[in-house]
Amino acid sequence: MNPLSLYDPDDPYPESDGKPMAESTEQYEWLVKIKENLECLFAGDPQVFVAGDLFWYPVRDRSVADAMAPDVMVAFGRPKGVRRCYKQWEEADIAPQVVFEIRSPSNGPKDMAEKLAYYDRFGVEEYYVYDPPRNHLEVWLRQDGRLKRMSHLKGWTSPRLGIRFALGGKTLAIFDPHGQPFLTSVERAERLRREQARAEDGHRRAEEAHRRAELEAARAHEERTRADRVEVLAAAAITRAEHEAAQAARQTARAEREGLRADEEHQRAELATAQAAAAGARAEQERARAERLAERLRELGVEP
């Protein structure tokens, strides 16, 4: 963008140069991808402003410097909100600290050199240039008051943003501080769809588990009720058995007493029999003696 190229007496601070935001679908996709993912990353911080292809006026006097429209810019310490352009003197004189440029076929060396000089002059702290067709990344970091190109980019992490850049064989991958990759809108929608599907599946499994738990609880209650009934019946059976055992014990004791009495009666009967036998023996002895005495008397001539 040439200085003063946007000058309009009726509009001293134009909001557009009438040119398209991007020159190719690939450039537009990267612009939107970086902007949207940064907006998501800092959604919870009201003092981080992220914009894409927004005119930035660093000073009031356009004869000193005209506007520049970074593909993506991030301004820390500035509130979120709608802006038609970024007028730095109305933003507490805070320049965007981080700027991204996605190279297009029209960005020749002179154009890129002018952009670098502009961002260097007006205080950008981190400047990233990505060339999608070449899969080439350049990182410029402010050191000792100047933007200096970084030479070691393997696993480069932005000091301001905390995001990590990884150049693969075919394209650039960007990861947020939690290790989640930057996604396009389509990829994010697909991931959301998968997450919703997993959530719905998890909800369905949870409901099934809940129903199984309720069924198991009902079954357990039924088993407990049955066990209680069995326990009551078992207690009643034990009570009956104890009662019957007590009755049997009483009957046994009565039978033992009856047996003892029968034994006593038998012993008395045997004693009486023995006594009767002894009496009979004595009677027989007396009869024999009487007969012998009678025989002697007869021998003496005396009739007994």
What pLDDT, in 10s, does the model give residues 9-39? 556 777 665 565 557 889 999 999 999 999 9
Q: Is residue 49 part of a domain?
A: yes
Task: Please determine, for residue 73, whether its predicted confidence score (pLDDT) is greater than 90.
Answer: yes
Residue 250 lies in a domain: no
| Nearest Cα to Cα of residue 124 among 139, 109, 103 | 139
pLDDT of residue 272: 81
| pLDDT at residue number 225 | 84
Across 229-249, average pLDDT: 84
| Pair of tokens at residue 85 | 């352009």
Q: Which pLDDT belongs to residue 161?
A: 98
Whether 177 is covered by a domain: the verdict is yes
Please report whether residue 260 resides in a domain.
no
Examine residue 108 and state whether it is found in any structural domain, yes or no. Answer: yes
Q: Residues 6 or more apart from 121 whose CB is under 8 A from it? A: 65
* Least confident segment among 62-76, 195-209, 228-242: 228-242
pLDDT at 3: 37
Contact, 47 vs 18, CB < 8 A?
no
Residue 6 is predicted with a pLDDT of 44
Task: Give the pLDDT score at 7.
Answer: 46
The CATH number that applies at residue 104 is 3.90.1570.10
Q: Is residue 194 part of a domain?
A: no
Instruction: State the Cα–Cα distance between residues 152 and 139, nearest whole angstrom.
Output: 9
- Residue 166 sits in which domain range? 25-183
Kindly report the average pLDDT of the chain as a whole number: 89
Q: Is it the case that residue 97 has pLDDT exceeding 60?
A: yes
Whether this prediction's pTM lies above 0.85 is answered by no
CB 91 within 8 A of CB 75: yes
Q: Higher model confidence: residue 296 or residue 74?
A: 74
How many domains does the chain divide into? 1
The predicted model gives 167-179 an average pLDDT of 93
- Read off the pLDDT of each residue in 214-221 and give the average, rounded to a whole number: 90
Residue 10 domain-assigned (yes or no): no
Higher per-residue confidence, 141 vs 25 = 141
In terms of pLDDT, which residue wins out, 252 or 44?
Answer: 44
Q: Is residue 55 part of a domain?
A: yes
pLDDT score at 246: 84
